[in-house]
Structure 1
Amino acid sequence: MRLLKADQLFRKVIEGGSKRQSRLLGLDVGSKYVGLAVSDDKNRIALPLSVLSRTKTNIGLMADDFITLALQVRLLVGELCKTGKLDDMSYTYWDENFTSKCVEALLHPLKLHDPVETKTMTDKFAAVCILQGYLDNMNRELISANSSEKTG
């Protein structure tokens, strides 16, 4: 896996020219769970996918306990890279500040009673918020760059 700047990854996906449209995967990495979201086939909308549980038994897949969120993500990517299964993929980092808090505020009126269900939904939709923020930003930049090229 190769680390790319956010805009480089988006352009690679959009302008890749492959026969099969690439989708983007968003992760909300936490110490117990990893929320997953995936983009639609046009890379405009983030959709909830699932939540993976991080336990001692799946440490090879999920990586070791992390000290900070930034370290968590970097270590997870490192562990995933060691598998060799993702060598043809690229990734980037996107700021996820306050996504879980925003989702918690949105879910609060639903008065969910099961704490596990609440945590699972929070992690899943935090991943959606992270990916949607990335998609919105990158699509705005792409539109802006394209309009600048046409007027320049």
Structure 2
Amino acid sequence: MKLVKPIELFQRLKASPGLLLGLDVGTKYVGFAVSDADNKVALPKSVLVRTKSNINFMAEDFQLLVSKYSLVGFVVGFPFSVLGQSSVEAMQVRLFIEDLRRTGKLEGISYTYWSESYSSLCVEAFLQSIKLPPPTYKTIVDKFAAVGILQEYLDHMDREFKLRDAPKSDEWAKEQFVDLDEA
């Protein structure tokens, strides 16, 4: 596994057909989502139970997903700190990725970190009125948090590429704005 910048992962995606896997790494579960064929929409997939002793099995599960979905890379939710300080959660994510990398089973797969700011909180707010048993509730939160992480990444990168490809002339700018005096 190789860490790359977010834009570099998206460029690889554009250069070769394939999909992305979004990961929400928690202390007990890893939720994941996969992009659609056009890499525009994140779709919920599943949740894996996370323990220190099952990392090889998880790596094998990820290998199957890489093959099944022709994955180009992973977008890993990361709790970036505003102050630049490392948190316990950030360390957990780094350790998980390092453990996966050490298995050697995901060679050739690139990954990038993407902000997971409030991804779980947003899902929890949405599910607040639904009464679910705790394990079901937690797995749904983790799965849909992965959707939020991947979707935000896809939307951001899509906007970046549209801005890069947009014509740079004054005519283009004039077409984009309506003169309120003329309206």
Correspondences of 1:2-151 after superposition (within 5 Å): 2-16=2-16, 21-61=17-57, 68-109=88-129, 111-147=130-166, 150-151=167-168
| CA deviation vs aligned residue, 1:81-121 (integer Å, no higher than 9, x gap) | 11222111111000001110000001112x22311111110
* Aligned amino acid, residue 25 of structure 2: V
- The structural deviation recorded for 1:55 is 2.7
Stretches of structure 2 lacking an aligned partner (at least 5 in a row): 60-86, 170-183
CA distance in 2, matches of 1:97, 1:62: 25
Does structure 2 retain, via aligned residues, the 8 Å contact 1:61–1:79?
no
CA distance in 1, matches of 2:149, 2:111: 14
- The structural deviation recorded for 1:57 is 3.8
Structure whose CA Rg is larger:
2
Secondary structure of the residue aligned to 2:152 is helix
CA distance in 2, matches of 1:59, 1:5: 25
CA distance in 2, matches of 1:112, 1:81: 38
Does structure 2 retain, via aligned residues, the 8 Å contact 1:27–1:130?
yes
CA distance in 2, matches of 1:112, 1:129: 22
Does structure 1 retain, via aligned residues, the 8 Å contact 2:120–2:141?
yes
Does structure 2 retain, via aligned residues, the 8 Å contact 1:38–1:47?
yes
More strand by share: 2
C-alpha change, 1:71 and 1:61, in structure 2 (3 Å) is farther
CA distance in 2, matches of 1:128, 1:43: 13
Q: How high is the TM-score relative to the length of structure 1?
A: 0.86
* Aligned amino acid, residue 44 of structure 2: P
Identity of aligned residues (%): 52
